Amino acid sequence: MSHPQPDTGRQYLSTDSEWTFELLEVYDREIARIAELYRLDTYPNQIEIISAEQMMDAYSSVGMPIGYNHWSYGKQFLHTQKNYQRGQMGLAYEIVINSNPCIAYLMEENTMPMQALVIAHACYGHNSFFKGNYLFRTWTDASSIIDYLLFAKHYVRQCEERYGVEEVEQVLDACHALQNYGVDRYRRPKPISAAEEKMRQKEREDILQQQVNDLWRTLPASPKEEQKKRSKRKFPSEPQENILYFLEKNAPLLAPWQRELIRIVRKISQYFYPQRQTQVMNEGWATFWHYTLLNHLYDDGKITDGFMMEFLTSHTNVVYQPGYDSPYYSGINPYALGFNMFQDIKRICENPTDEDREWFPDMAGKDWLDTLHFAMRNFKDESFIQQFLSPKMIRDFHLFSIFDDDEKDHYRVEAIHNESGYRTIREMLARQYDLSVREPNIQITSVDIEGDRSLTLRHTMQNNTPLSGDIHEVMKHLHFLWGFDIHLETFQDDRLIKRQSCPDMKIPV
Protein backbone atom coordinates (compact mmCIF):
# COMPACT_ATOMS: atom_id res chain seq x y z
CA MET A 1 0.00 0.00 0.00
CA SER A 2 1.39 3.39 -0.83
CA HIS A 3 0.31 6.64 0.61
CA PRO A 4 0.53 9.96 -1.17
CA GLN A 5 2.97 12.43 0.27
CA PRO A 6 1.30 15.66 1.32
CA ASP A 7 2.25 18.47 -1.04
CA THR A 8 3.05 20.87 1.74
CA GLY A 9 6.00 18.79 2.89
CA ARG A 10 6.15 16.92 6.11
CA GLN A 11 4.08 18.10 9.06
CA TYR A 12 5.65 16.31 11.98
CA LEU A 13 3.50 15.67 15.03
CA SER A 14 6.57 16.16 17.17
CA THR A 15 10.31 16.35 16.76
CA ASP A 16 11.34 15.86 20.36
CA SER A 17 11.69 12.59 22.19
CA GLU A 18 9.96 13.99 25.27
CA TRP A 19 6.27 13.26 25.61
CA THR A 20 3.58 15.54 26.95
CA PHE A 21 -0.08 14.92 27.61
CA GLU A 22 -0.99 17.09 24.65
CA LEU A 23 1.29 15.07 22.40
CA LEU A 24 -0.16 11.81 23.67
CA GLU A 25 -3.57 13.04 22.66
CA VAL A 26 -2.34 14.12 19.25
CA TYR A 27 -0.68 10.77 18.60
CA ASP A 28 -3.62 8.84 19.91
CA ARG A 29 -5.93 10.75 17.61
CA GLU A 30 -3.70 10.15 14.60
CA ILE A 31 -3.28 6.47 15.36
CA ALA A 32 -7.02 6.10 15.93
CA ARG A 33 -7.66 7.71 12.57
CA ILE A 34 -5.38 5.26 10.80
CA ALA A 35 -6.67 2.30 12.81
CA GLU A 36 -10.11 3.10 11.52
CA LEU A 37 -8.84 2.93 7.95
CA TYR A 38 -7.84 -0.64 8.71
CA ARG A 39 -11.22 -1.35 10.34
CA LEU A 40 -9.80 -2.03 13.79
CA ASP A 41 -12.83 -2.16 16.03
CA THR A 42 -11.93 -1.37 19.62
CA TYR A 43 -13.38 -0.74 23.05
CA PRO A 44 -12.90 2.84 24.23
CA ASN A 45 -9.38 3.34 25.55
CA GLN A 46 -8.37 4.43 28.98
CA ILE A 47 -4.69 5.28 28.84
CA GLU A 48 -3.07 5.59 32.25
CA ILE A 49 0.37 7.02 32.80
CA ILE A 50 2.18 5.35 35.67
CA SER A 51 5.64 5.34 37.22
CA ALA A 52 8.10 2.48 37.28
CA GLU A 53 7.16 1.57 40.85
CA GLN A 54 3.54 1.42 39.89
CA MET A 55 4.46 -0.74 36.95
CA MET A 56 6.06 -3.17 39.35
CA ASP A 57 2.85 -3.22 41.35
CA ALA A 58 0.86 -3.89 38.21
CA TYR A 59 3.25 -6.70 37.31
CA SER A 60 2.88 -8.43 40.60
CA SER A 61 -0.86 -8.62 40.45
CA VAL A 62 -0.71 -10.69 37.25
CA GLY A 63 -1.99 -7.71 35.33
CA MET A 64 -5.16 -7.29 37.30
CA PRO A 65 -5.75 -3.66 38.19
CA ILE A 66 -7.39 -4.67 41.45
CA GLY A 67 -6.61 -7.88 43.21
CA TYR A 68 -7.33 -9.45 46.54
CA ASN A 69 -4.39 -9.73 48.87
CA HIS A 70 -2.33 -12.85 48.81
CA TRP A 71 1.25 -13.70 49.68
CA SER A 72 1.98 -15.07 46.23
CA TYR A 73 1.53 -11.59 44.76
CA GLY A 74 3.98 -10.35 47.38
CA LYS A 75 6.43 -12.98 46.27
CA GLN A 76 6.02 -11.90 42.68
CA PHE A 77 6.55 -8.31 43.72
CA LEU A 78 9.75 -9.03 45.66
CA HIS A 79 11.05 -10.96 42.70
CA THR A 80 10.30 -8.18 40.25
CA GLN A 81 11.64 -5.53 42.56
CA LYS A 82 14.93 -7.30 43.10
CA ASN A 83 15.52 -7.98 39.44
CA TYR A 84 14.58 -4.47 38.48
CA GLN A 85 16.73 -2.80 41.10
CA ARG A 86 19.69 -4.90 40.12
CA GLY A 87 19.15 -3.96 36.52
CA GLN A 88 18.72 -7.57 35.47
CA MET A 89 15.41 -6.85 33.91
CA GLY A 90 13.73 -4.00 32.19
CA LEU A 91 10.07 -3.48 32.83
CA ALA A 92 7.53 -4.05 30.14
CA TYR A 93 6.65 -0.92 28.28
CA GLU A 94 2.98 -1.53 28.77
CA ILE A 95 0.35 -3.64 30.38
CA VAL A 96 -3.09 -3.83 28.89
CA ILE A 97 -6.21 -5.12 30.52
CA ASN A 98 -9.06 -6.81 28.79
CA SER A 99 -11.83 -4.58 30.07
CA ASN A 100 -14.30 -2.10 28.73
CA PRO A 101 -13.01 0.60 28.58
CA CYS A 102 -9.73 -1.08 27.76
CA ILE A 103 -7.12 0.02 30.29
CA ALA A 104 -3.55 0.43 29.10
CA TYR A 105 -0.68 1.42 31.38
CA LEU A 106 2.09 3.53 29.91
CA MET A 107 5.28 4.09 31.82
CA GLU A 108 6.35 7.66 32.32
CA GLU A 109 9.97 6.77 31.56
CA ASN A 110 9.12 5.93 27.95
CA THR A 111 10.10 8.34 25.21
CA MET A 112 7.52 9.73 22.81
CA PRO A 113 8.24 7.15 20.10
CA MET A 114 7.87 4.40 22.69
CA GLN A 115 4.59 5.83 23.92
CA ALA A 116 3.31 5.92 20.36
CA LEU A 117 4.41 2.33 19.84
CA VAL A 118 2.65 1.30 23.01
CA ILE A 119 -0.53 3.15 22.12
CA ALA A 120 -0.62 1.48 18.72
CA HIS A 121 0.29 -1.91 20.19
CA ALA A 122 -1.96 -1.99 23.23
CA CYS A 123 -4.79 0.45 22.61
CA TYR A 124 -5.47 -0.56 19.03
CA GLY A 125 -3.75 -3.94 18.59
CA HIS A 126 -4.59 -5.83 21.78
CA ASN A 127 -7.77 -3.90 22.26
CA SER A 128 -9.22 -4.90 18.90
CA PHE A 129 -8.12 -8.47 19.55
CA PHE A 130 -9.96 -8.53 22.87
CA LYS A 131 -13.05 -7.22 21.19
CA GLY A 132 -12.87 -9.39 18.10
CA ASN A 133 -11.46 -12.81 18.92
CA TYR A 134 -14.08 -15.48 19.45
CA LEU A 135 -12.48 -16.88 22.61
CA PHE A 136 -12.61 -13.54 24.34
CA ARG A 137 -16.09 -12.91 23.09
CA THR A 138 -17.20 -16.26 24.44
CA TRP A 139 -15.32 -16.54 27.70
CA THR A 140 -14.86 -13.12 29.11
CA ASP A 141 -17.04 -10.18 29.75
CA ALA A 142 -14.93 -7.08 29.38
CA SER A 143 -17.52 -4.69 30.72
CA SER A 144 -17.89 -6.28 34.13
CA ILE A 145 -14.45 -7.55 35.03
CA ILE A 146 -13.31 -4.46 36.96
CA ASP A 147 -16.44 -4.42 39.06
CA TYR A 148 -16.10 -8.09 39.71
CA LEU A 149 -12.47 -7.80 40.79
CA LEU A 150 -13.46 -5.05 43.16
CA PHE A 151 -16.22 -7.19 44.56
CA ALA A 152 -13.77 -10.08 44.99
CA LYS A 153 -11.24 -7.88 46.77
CA HIS A 154 -13.82 -6.62 49.23
CA TYR A 155 -15.22 -10.04 49.81
CA VAL A 156 -11.83 -11.56 50.53
CA ARG A 157 -11.07 -8.74 52.93
CA GLN A 158 -14.35 -9.25 54.75
CA CYS A 159 -13.58 -12.92 55.09
CA GLU A 160 -10.17 -12.08 56.47
CA GLU A 161 -11.70 -9.85 59.06
CA ARG A 162 -14.28 -12.37 60.04
CA TYR A 163 -12.39 -15.64 59.82
CA GLY A 164 -8.75 -14.62 60.01
CA VAL A 165 -6.07 -14.05 57.43
CA GLU A 166 -4.61 -17.49 57.78
CA GLU A 167 -7.89 -19.30 57.30
CA VAL A 168 -8.53 -17.38 54.11
CA GLU A 169 -5.00 -17.90 52.92
CA GLN A 170 -5.29 -21.63 53.29
CA VAL A 171 -8.36 -21.75 51.09
CA LEU A 172 -6.86 -19.45 48.49
CA ASP A 173 -3.62 -21.45 48.40
CA ALA A 174 -5.60 -24.59 47.73
CA CYS A 175 -7.67 -22.89 45.03
CA HIS A 176 -4.60 -21.43 43.34
CA ALA A 177 -3.09 -24.89 43.09
CA LEU A 178 -6.16 -25.98 41.14
CA GLN A 179 -6.90 -22.79 39.28
CA ASN A 180 -6.19 -24.22 35.86
CA TYR A 181 -8.88 -26.77 36.59
CA GLY A 182 -11.58 -24.23 37.22
CA VAL A 183 -12.73 -23.65 33.68
CA ASP A 184 -15.63 -25.07 31.75
CA ARG A 185 -14.07 -25.77 28.43
CA TYR A 186 -17.14 -26.54 26.47
CA ARG A 187 -19.83 -24.37 27.91
CA ARG A 188 -20.14 -20.66 27.66
CA PRO A 189 -20.16 -19.18 31.13
CA LYS A 190 -22.82 -16.78 32.20
CA PRO A 191 -21.53 -13.23 32.19
CA ILE A 192 -20.40 -12.12 35.61
CA SER A 193 -21.79 -9.07 37.27
CA ALA A 194 -20.62 -7.68 40.56
CA ALA A 195 -24.00 -6.30 41.54
CA GLU A 196 -25.72 -9.52 40.83
CA GLU A 197 -23.03 -11.50 42.59
CA LYS A 198 -23.49 -9.46 45.69
CA MET A 199 -27.24 -9.67 45.60
CA ARG A 200 -27.35 -13.35 44.99
CA GLN A 201 -24.56 -14.19 47.31
CA LYS A 202 -26.67 -14.62 50.41
CA GLU A 203 -29.31 -16.49 48.53
CA ARG A 204 -26.72 -18.69 46.96
CA GLU A 205 -25.08 -19.46 50.27
CA ASP A 206 -28.33 -20.81 51.63
CA ILE A 207 -29.29 -22.79 48.60
CA LEU A 208 -25.84 -24.18 48.10
CA GLN A 209 -25.59 -25.37 51.62
CA GLN A 210 -29.00 -26.93 51.30
CA GLN A 211 -28.05 -28.83 48.18
CA VAL A 212 -24.84 -30.01 49.68
CA ASN A 213 -26.69 -31.16 52.74
CA ASP A 214 -29.09 -33.02 50.57
CA LEU A 215 -26.32 -34.87 48.84
CA TRP A 216 -24.79 -35.83 52.14
CA ARG A 217 -28.00 -36.65 53.92
CA THR A 218 -27.12 -38.90 56.78
CA LEU A 219 -30.61 -39.90 57.89
CA PRO A 220 -30.96 -43.49 56.89
CA ALA A 221 -33.68 -44.14 54.40
CA SER A 222 -35.68 -47.29 54.73
CA PRO A 223 -33.46 -50.30 54.08
CA LYS A 224 -35.28 -51.34 50.98
CA GLU A 225 -35.10 -47.98 49.42
CA GLU A 226 -31.45 -47.72 50.30
CA GLN A 227 -30.74 -50.99 48.61
CA LYS A 228 -32.36 -49.69 45.49
CA LYS A 229 -30.55 -46.42 45.63
CA ARG A 230 -27.14 -47.85 46.20
CA SER A 231 -27.13 -49.64 42.95
CA LYS A 232 -28.46 -46.62 41.16
CA ARG A 233 -26.70 -43.70 42.69
CA LYS A 234 -23.48 -42.89 40.97
CA PHE A 235 -22.04 -39.52 41.65
CA PRO A 236 -21.07 -37.55 39.68
CA SER A 237 -23.04 -39.05 36.87
CA GLU A 238 -20.41 -37.95 34.37
CA PRO A 239 -16.72 -37.20 34.84
CA GLN A 240 -16.12 -33.59 35.86
CA GLU A 241 -13.20 -31.63 34.47
CA ASN A 242 -13.99 -28.43 36.31
CA ILE A 243 -12.59 -29.50 39.64
CA LEU A 244 -13.06 -26.17 41.39
CA TYR A 245 -16.67 -25.95 40.31
CA PHE A 246 -17.29 -29.44 41.58
CA LEU A 247 -15.73 -28.63 44.94
CA GLU A 248 -17.64 -25.40 45.24
CA LYS A 249 -20.92 -27.19 44.74
CA ASN A 250 -20.28 -30.51 46.42
CA ALA A 251 -17.46 -30.47 48.97
CA PRO A 252 -19.15 -31.71 52.13
CA LEU A 253 -17.44 -29.73 54.85
CA LEU A 254 -16.85 -26.28 53.43
CA ALA A 255 -18.48 -23.22 54.93
CA PRO A 256 -20.42 -20.96 52.57
CA TRP A 257 -17.68 -18.31 52.57
CA GLN A 258 -15.12 -20.91 51.56
CA ARG A 259 -17.29 -21.92 48.62
CA GLU A 260 -17.51 -18.28 47.68
CA LEU A 261 -13.71 -17.99 47.68
CA ILE A 262 -13.48 -20.99 45.38
CA ARG A 263 -15.95 -19.29 43.13
CA ILE A 264 -13.89 -16.12 43.02
CA VAL A 265 -10.69 -17.95 42.06
CA ARG A 266 -12.67 -19.91 39.48
CA LYS A 267 -14.18 -16.81 37.91
CA ILE A 268 -10.83 -15.06 37.67
CA SER A 269 -9.25 -18.16 36.21
CA GLN A 270 -12.03 -18.21 33.66
CA TYR A 271 -11.19 -14.65 32.76
CA PHE A 272 -7.60 -15.59 31.96
CA TYR A 273 -8.53 -18.73 30.08
CA PRO A 274 -8.61 -17.13 26.62
CA GLN A 275 -5.31 -15.33 27.22
CA ARG A 276 -3.57 -18.61 27.88
CA GLN A 277 -4.73 -19.89 24.52
CA THR A 278 -4.06 -16.92 22.30
CA GLN A 279 -0.63 -15.70 23.26
CA VAL A 280 0.96 -16.02 19.83
CA MET A 281 -2.06 -14.58 18.05
CA ASN A 282 -2.66 -11.80 20.52
CA GLU A 283 0.94 -10.58 20.63
CA GLY A 284 1.39 -11.19 16.91
CA TRP A 285 -1.71 -9.19 16.10
CA ALA A 286 -0.71 -6.29 18.34
CA THR A 287 2.84 -6.30 16.98
CA PHE A 288 1.62 -6.45 13.41
CA TRP A 289 -0.55 -3.42 14.01
CA HIS A 290 1.96 -1.25 15.82
CA TYR A 291 4.29 -1.95 12.93
CA THR A 292 1.69 -1.24 10.28
CA LEU A 293 0.11 1.78 11.95
CA LEU A 294 3.38 3.55 12.68
CA ASN A 295 4.68 2.86 9.20
CA HIS A 296 1.51 4.39 7.86
CA LEU A 297 2.08 7.39 10.09
CA TYR A 298 5.59 7.67 8.70
CA ASP A 299 4.38 7.42 5.12
CA ASP A 300 1.90 10.19 5.87
CA GLY A 301 4.85 12.34 6.86
CA LYS A 302 3.75 12.72 10.44
CA ILE A 303 6.81 11.37 12.19
CA THR A 304 10.50 12.04 11.80
CA ASP A 305 13.22 9.69 10.63
CA GLY A 306 14.70 9.70 14.13
CA PHE A 307 11.35 8.65 15.57
CA MET A 308 11.17 5.85 13.06
CA MET A 309 14.69 4.67 13.86
CA GLU A 310 13.95 4.45 17.55
CA PHE A 311 10.69 2.69 16.87
CA LEU A 312 12.30 0.16 14.56
CA THR A 313 15.05 -0.58 17.07
CA SER A 314 12.49 -1.51 19.71
CA HIS A 315 10.39 -3.38 17.22
CA THR A 316 13.33 -5.43 16.03
CA ASN A 317 14.22 -6.37 19.58
CA VAL A 318 10.67 -7.45 20.26
CA VAL A 319 10.44 -9.78 17.27
CA TYR A 320 13.91 -11.29 17.61
CA GLN A 321 13.94 -15.07 17.59
CA PRO A 322 17.19 -16.63 18.82
CA GLY A 323 18.02 -20.12 17.55
CA TYR A 324 17.66 -23.17 19.78
CA ASP A 325 21.41 -23.18 20.47
CA SER A 326 21.68 -19.50 21.38
CA PRO A 327 22.33 -18.58 25.00
CA TYR A 328 19.35 -16.23 24.70
CA TYR A 329 16.99 -18.97 23.61
CA SER A 330 14.02 -19.42 25.87
CA GLY A 331 11.43 -21.05 23.69
CA ILE A 332 9.71 -19.73 20.62
CA ASN A 333 9.11 -16.00 20.93
CA PRO A 334 5.34 -15.49 20.54
CA TYR A 335 5.89 -11.92 19.29
CA ALA A 336 8.22 -13.16 16.55
CA LEU A 337 6.06 -16.08 15.50
CA GLY A 338 2.78 -14.16 15.60
CA PHE A 339 4.06 -11.04 13.91
CA ASN A 340 5.71 -12.95 11.10
CA MET A 341 2.67 -15.12 10.55
CA PHE A 342 0.38 -12.13 10.14
CA GLN A 343 2.93 -10.50 7.84
CA ASP A 344 3.08 -13.75 5.93
CA ILE A 345 -0.71 -13.93 5.56
CA LYS A 346 -0.64 -10.43 4.13
CA ARG A 347 2.13 -11.47 1.74
CA ILE A 348 0.25 -14.56 0.60
CA CYS A 349 -2.79 -12.46 -0.19
CA GLU A 350 -0.88 -9.77 -2.02
CA ASN A 351 2.04 -11.56 -3.68
CA PRO A 352 1.38 -15.29 -3.66
CA THR A 353 4.00 -17.67 -5.06
CA ASP A 354 3.08 -20.92 -6.76
CA GLU A 355 3.76 -22.71 -3.52
CA ASP A 356 1.33 -20.42 -1.69
CA ARG A 357 -1.32 -20.99 -4.34
CA GLU A 358 -0.98 -24.69 -3.79
CA TRP A 359 -1.04 -24.52 0.01
CA PHE A 360 -3.49 -21.67 0.46
CA PRO A 361 -5.76 -21.62 -2.58
CA ASP A 362 -8.48 -19.77 -0.63
CA MET A 363 -6.20 -16.98 0.45
CA ALA A 364 -3.92 -16.28 -2.47
CA GLY A 365 -4.95 -13.08 -4.18
CA LYS A 366 -7.74 -12.27 -1.74
CA ASP A 367 -8.09 -8.99 0.14
CA TRP A 368 -5.42 -9.17 2.84
CA LEU A 369 -7.30 -7.08 5.38
CA ASP A 370 -10.39 -9.30 5.18
CA THR A 371 -8.27 -12.39 5.55
CA LEU A 372 -6.38 -10.97 8.51
CA HIS A 373 -9.56 -10.00 10.32
CA PHE A 374 -11.00 -13.40 9.61
CA ALA A 375 -7.93 -15.08 11.09
CA MET A 376 -7.96 -12.87 14.18
CA ARG A 377 -11.62 -13.48 14.88
CA ASN A 378 -11.99 -17.18 14.48
CA PHE A 379 -8.86 -18.93 15.75
CA LYS A 380 -6.78 -19.67 18.78
CA ASP A 381 -3.02 -20.35 18.78
CA GLU A 382 -3.35 -24.03 18.03
CA SER A 383 -5.80 -23.75 15.16
CA PHE A 384 -4.18 -20.56 13.89
CA ILE A 385 -0.84 -22.30 13.42
CA GLN A 386 -2.48 -25.39 12.02
CA GLN A 387 -4.29 -23.24 9.49
CA PHE A 388 -1.85 -20.50 8.54
CA LEU A 389 1.75 -21.59 9.10
CA SER A 390 3.19 -21.54 5.60
CA PRO A 391 6.19 -23.46 4.25
CA LYS A 392 7.95 -20.14 3.81
CA MET A 393 7.54 -19.38 7.51
CA ILE A 394 8.91 -22.78 8.41
CA ARG A 395 11.91 -22.15 6.19
CA ASP A 396 12.44 -18.64 7.50
CA PHE A 397 12.43 -19.84 11.09
CA HIS A 398 14.46 -22.97 10.25
CA LEU A 399 12.04 -24.99 12.30
CA PHE A 400 12.73 -28.61 13.06
CA SER A 401 10.92 -31.13 15.15
CA ILE A 402 12.49 -33.51 17.65
CA PHE A 403 10.93 -36.70 18.88
CA ASP A 404 11.88 -37.51 22.44
CA ASP A 405 11.02 -40.99 23.65
CA ASP A 406 12.05 -41.64 27.23
CA GLU A 407 12.62 -45.30 26.42
CA LYS A 408 15.26 -44.51 23.82
CA ASP A 409 18.75 -43.16 24.25
CA HIS A 410 18.52 -40.74 21.37
CA TYR A 411 16.44 -37.84 20.24
CA ARG A 412 15.29 -38.27 16.70
CA VAL A 413 14.93 -35.42 14.26
CA GLU A 414 11.58 -36.30 12.77
CA ALA A 415 11.08 -33.36 10.46
CA ILE A 416 12.93 -30.33 9.22
CA HIS A 417 12.04 -27.41 6.99
CA ASN A 418 11.76 -29.32 3.74
CA GLU A 419 9.01 -30.54 1.50
CA SER A 420 8.41 -33.73 3.45
CA GLY A 421 8.59 -32.05 6.83
CA TYR A 422 6.27 -29.06 6.51
CA ARG A 423 3.11 -30.82 7.53
CA THR A 424 4.66 -32.62 10.47
CA ILE A 425 6.24 -29.45 11.79
CA ARG A 426 3.04 -27.53 11.41
CA GLU A 427 1.11 -30.17 13.28
CA MET A 428 3.68 -30.54 16.06
CA LEU A 429 4.02 -26.83 16.56
CA ALA A 430 0.26 -26.44 16.70
CA ARG A 431 0.07 -29.17 19.30
CA GLN A 432 2.60 -27.38 21.41
CA TYR A 433 0.04 -24.64 21.84
CA ASP A 434 -2.90 -26.93 22.51
CA LEU A 435 -3.97 -26.50 26.13
CA SER A 436 -5.39 -29.97 26.28
CA VAL A 437 -1.95 -31.31 25.38
CA ARG A 438 -0.02 -28.86 27.52
CA GLU A 439 -2.03 -29.54 30.64
CA PRO A 440 -2.54 -33.00 32.09
CA ASN A 441 -5.99 -34.44 31.63
CA ILE A 442 -7.46 -34.91 35.08
CA GLN A 443 -11.13 -35.40 35.84
CA ILE A 444 -13.21 -36.23 38.84
CA THR A 445 -14.80 -39.62 38.20
CA SER A 446 -16.50 -40.71 41.36
CA VAL A 447 -17.36 -39.96 44.94
CA ASP A 448 -18.04 -42.70 47.42
CA ILE A 449 -21.17 -41.10 48.81
CA GLU A 450 -22.42 -44.09 50.70
CA GLY A 451 -19.06 -45.08 52.10
CA ASP A 452 -16.03 -43.13 53.22
CA ARG A 453 -16.83 -40.11 51.07
CA SER A 454 -13.53 -40.39 49.26
CA LEU A 455 -13.05 -38.55 45.99
CA THR A 456 -11.50 -40.31 43.03
CA LEU A 457 -9.86 -38.56 40.11
CA ARG A 458 -8.69 -40.04 36.90
CA HIS A 459 -5.56 -38.94 35.13
CA THR A 460 -5.50 -40.03 31.54
CA MET A 461 -1.91 -40.09 30.36
CA GLN A 462 -1.08 -38.48 27.07
CA ASN A 463 1.96 -39.77 25.24
CA ASN A 464 2.93 -41.63 28.41
CA THR A 465 3.85 -38.37 30.09
CA PRO A 466 3.73 -38.62 33.86
CA LEU A 467 2.68 -35.86 36.24
CA SER A 468 5.31 -33.68 37.85
CA GLY A 469 6.17 -34.07 41.53
CA ASP A 470 3.91 -31.15 42.40
CA ILE A 471 0.97 -33.46 42.29
CA HIS A 472 1.55 -34.56 45.89
CA GLU A 473 1.24 -31.02 47.14
CA VAL A 474 -1.76 -30.36 44.94
CA MET A 475 -3.45 -33.44 46.33
CA LYS A 476 -2.92 -32.14 49.84
CA HIS A 477 -4.69 -28.95 48.85
CA LEU A 478 -7.44 -30.96 47.26
CA HIS A 479 -7.74 -33.00 50.41
CA PHE A 480 -8.05 -29.84 52.45
CA LEU A 481 -10.92 -28.59 50.33
CA TRP A 482 -12.72 -31.89 50.02
CA GLY A 483 -12.18 -32.93 53.63
CA PHE A 484 -11.97 -36.65 52.97
CA ASP A 485 -9.59 -39.03 51.24
CA ILE A 486 -8.43 -38.26 47.72
CA HIS A 487 -7.44 -40.94 45.25
CA LEU A 488 -5.77 -40.26 41.95
CA GLU A 489 -5.70 -43.04 39.40
CA THR A 490 -3.41 -42.77 36.43
CA PHE A 491 -4.52 -44.57 33.28
CA GLN A 492 -2.34 -45.42 30.36
CA ASP A 493 -4.33 -46.61 27.38
CA ASP A 494 -7.29 -47.52 29.62
CA ARG A 495 -5.06 -49.51 31.90
CA LEU A 496 -4.72 -48.43 35.53
CA ILE A 497 -0.99 -48.09 36.14
CA LYS A 498 -0.72 -46.02 39.27
CA ARG A 499 -2.86 -45.06 42.20
CA GLN A 500 -1.88 -42.36 44.67
CA SER A 501 -3.81 -41.25 47.69
CA CYS A 502 -3.87 -38.38 50.07
CA PRO A 503 -3.42 -38.95 52.95
CA ASP A 504 -0.89 -41.56 51.87
CA MET A 505 -2.13 -45.10 51.96
CA LYS A 506 -0.57 -48.23 50.74
CA ILE A 507 -3.22 -49.69 48.51
CA PRO A 508 -2.04 -52.25 46.03
CA VAL A 509 -3.06 -51.59 42.48
Partner 1 sequence: MSYIIDRRLNGKNKSTVNRQRFLRRYRQHIKEAVADSVNRRSITDMDRGEQISIPTRNTHEPVITHGPGGKQHRVFPGNKEFNTGDELEKPESGGGGSGSGQASDQGEGEDDFSFYITKDEFLNYLFDDLALPNMIKKTLSQSKDFKTRRAGFVSEGTPNNLSVVRSLRNAHARRIGMTVGKRKKLKELKQELAALEPAENDGRPDVVTLMEQIDTLEKKLKSVPFLDDLDLRYRSQVKVPTPSSKAVMFCLMDVSGSMTQDIKDIAKRFYILLYLFLQKNYEHIELVFIRHHTSAKEVDEQDFFYSRETGGTIVSSALKLMKEIIDDRYTSSEWNIYAAQASDGDNWDDDSPLCAQLLEKQILPQVQYFSYIEITPNQHQALWESYSGLQKTFPHHFAMAQIRQPGDIYPVFRDLFAKDRYQEAV
* Binding range to partner 1, per CB under 8 A, among 38-46, 202-210, 286-294, 358-366: 38-46
Cβ proximity to partner 1: between 46 and 201 the closer is 46
Touching partner 1, residues 272-291 (CB under 8 A)? none
Touching partner 1, residues 208-267 (CB under 8 A)? none
| Residue 37 Cβ vs partner 1, minimum distance, rounded to whole Å | 17
Using CB under 8 A as the binding rule, whether residue 176 contacts partner 1 is answered as: yes
| Residue 387 Cβ vs partner 1, minimum distance, rounded to whole Å | 16
* Binding range to partner 1, per CB under 8 A, among 292-300, 325-333, 374-382, 444-452: 325-333
* Binding range to partner 1, per CB under 8 A, among 4-12, 24-32, 207-215, 274-282: 24-32
| Residue 427 Cβ vs partner 1, minimum distance, rounded to whole Å | 9
Helix axes 256-277, 145-163, angle to 10 degrees: 150
Q: In this chain, which of 354, 452, 470, 493 binds partner 1, going by CB under 8 A? A: 470
> What's the chain's length in residues?
509
Using CB under 8 A as the binding rule, whether residue 332 contacts partner 1 is answered as: yes
- 3 state SS of 282: helix
| Residue 313 Cβ vs partner 1, minimum distance, rounded to whole Å | 22
Q: What is the DSSP letter of 2?
A: -
Name which of 204, 213, 206 is nearest 251 in CA terms: 213
| Residue 230 Cβ vs partner 1, minimum distance, rounded to whole Å | 32
∠ at Cα 68 (443, 50), nearest 5°?
A: 120
| Residue 438 Cβ vs partner 1, minimum distance, rounded to whole Å | 8
* Rounded Cα–Cα distance for residues 176 and 160 (Å): 17
| Residue 372 Cβ vs partner 1, minimum distance, rounded to whole Å | 23
| Residue 198 Cβ vs partner 1, minimum distance, rounded to whole Å | 23
Touching partner 1, residues 117-136 (CB under 8 A)? 123
122 near 286, Cβ under 8 Å?
yes
**Burial call 383-419: b when 16+ CB within 10 Å, e when fewer:** bbbbbbbbbbbbeebebbbeeeeeeeeeeeeebbbee
Q: In this chain, which of 133, 250, 321, 371 binds partner 1, going by CB under 8 A? A: 321
Q: In this chain, which of 226, 367, 439, 450 binds partner 1, going by CB under 8 A? A: 439
* Rounded Cα–Cα distance for residues 76 and 417 (Å): 39
Q: Which residues contact 320 (CB under 8 A, 6 or more apart)?
A: 333, 336
Touching partner 1, residues 398-417 (CB under 8 A)? 398-406, 409-417
Report the half-sphere exposure of 432 (CA within 13 A, side-chain side). 15
Using CB under 8 A as the binding rule, whether residue 323 contacts partner 1 is answered as: yes
Q: In this chain, which of 5, 10, 16, 71 binds partner 1, going by CB under 8 A? A: 71
* Rounded Cα–Cα distance for residues 414 and 400 (Å): 8
Using CB under 8 A as the binding rule, whether residue 114 contacts partner 1 is answered as: no
| Residue 58 Cβ vs partner 1, minimum distance, rounded to whole Å | 8
* Rounded Cα–Cα distance for residues 404 and 2 (Å): 48
- 3 state SS of 341: helix
Q: In this chain, which of 13, 34, 40, 47 binds partner 1, going by CB under 8 A? A: 47
Cβ proximity to partner 1: between 256 and 322 the closer is 322
Using CB under 8 A as the binding rule, whether residue 151 contacts partner 1 is answered as: no
Within 10 angstroms of residue 265's Cβ, the number of other Cβ atoms is 24
Using CB under 8 A as the binding rule, whether residue 144 contacts partner 1 is answered as: no
Output the CA–CA distances (angstroms, integers) from residue 30 to 1, 24, 44, 501, in the order listed: 18, 10, 15, 61
| Residue 217 Cβ vs partner 1, minimum distance, rounded to whole Å | 32
Using CB under 8 A as the binding rule, whether residue 463 contacts partner 1 is answered as: yes
Within 10 angstroms of residue 352's Cβ, the number of other Cβ atoms is 18
Cβ proximity to partner 1: between 209 and 443 the closer is 443
Name which of 360, 321, 322, 329 is nearest 344 in CA terms: 360
* Rounded Cα–Cα distance for residues 358 and 352 (Å): 10
Q: Which residues contact 310 (CB under 8 A, 6 or more apart)?
A: 17, 111, 113, 114
Using CB under 8 A as the binding rule, whether residue 502 contacts partner 1 is answered as: no
